[in-house]
Amino acid sequence: MPRADADADADTAADPTVHRRARLVALAEAIGCLALGLVLQVLDRTPVIDVLGSILYAALVGCLALLVAPRLRPWAVAVIAFGVSATIELFQLTGLPAIVVAAVPPARLVLGSSFDAWDLVAYLGGATLAWGLAAASQRGARARARTRVTT
């Protein structure tokens, strides 16, 4: 990276508007993941729908992580997305989520209903999607801030 670009990146990284814009983009991405996930809930349950739902679930977790901490590197967003999703999936092995879901049915959307090892594979896809969304939102926010600084 040329020195001028490195200086510009350092300037925009310290600019609070970059993080505000990254948060707004992350919020829009999270809303998109949530909306698509809810649409999938009303469709007939098929293996493809289940995998897509798991991918969107992990991507949503990544978007929420970026919303809370917009300075996270895209790889860290992906690790958080997979880690949180996998932890919740493995938590289903305890049976506690099933008890919670029996008492509060909407909790199924967050805690799931039963363990499925294929969900862990789908979460890798969701973490990859979260990485891409984080990289795109941060790149876009930095580019807009750089344009604002130079004009």
Q: What is the pLDDT of residues 37-61, one digit of tens each?
A: 999 989 988 999 999 999 999 999 9
Average pLDDT, the chain: 87
- Per the structure, the count of domains in the chain is 1
Range of the domain at 137: 3-150
Contact in structure between 126 and 82 (CB atoms under 8 Å): yes
| Stated pTM of the model | 0.83
pLDDT at 22: 87
Q: Distance between CA atoms of 47 and 37, rounded to whole angstroms?
A: 14
Instruction: Count helices and strands (H / E) in the chain.
Output: 7, 0
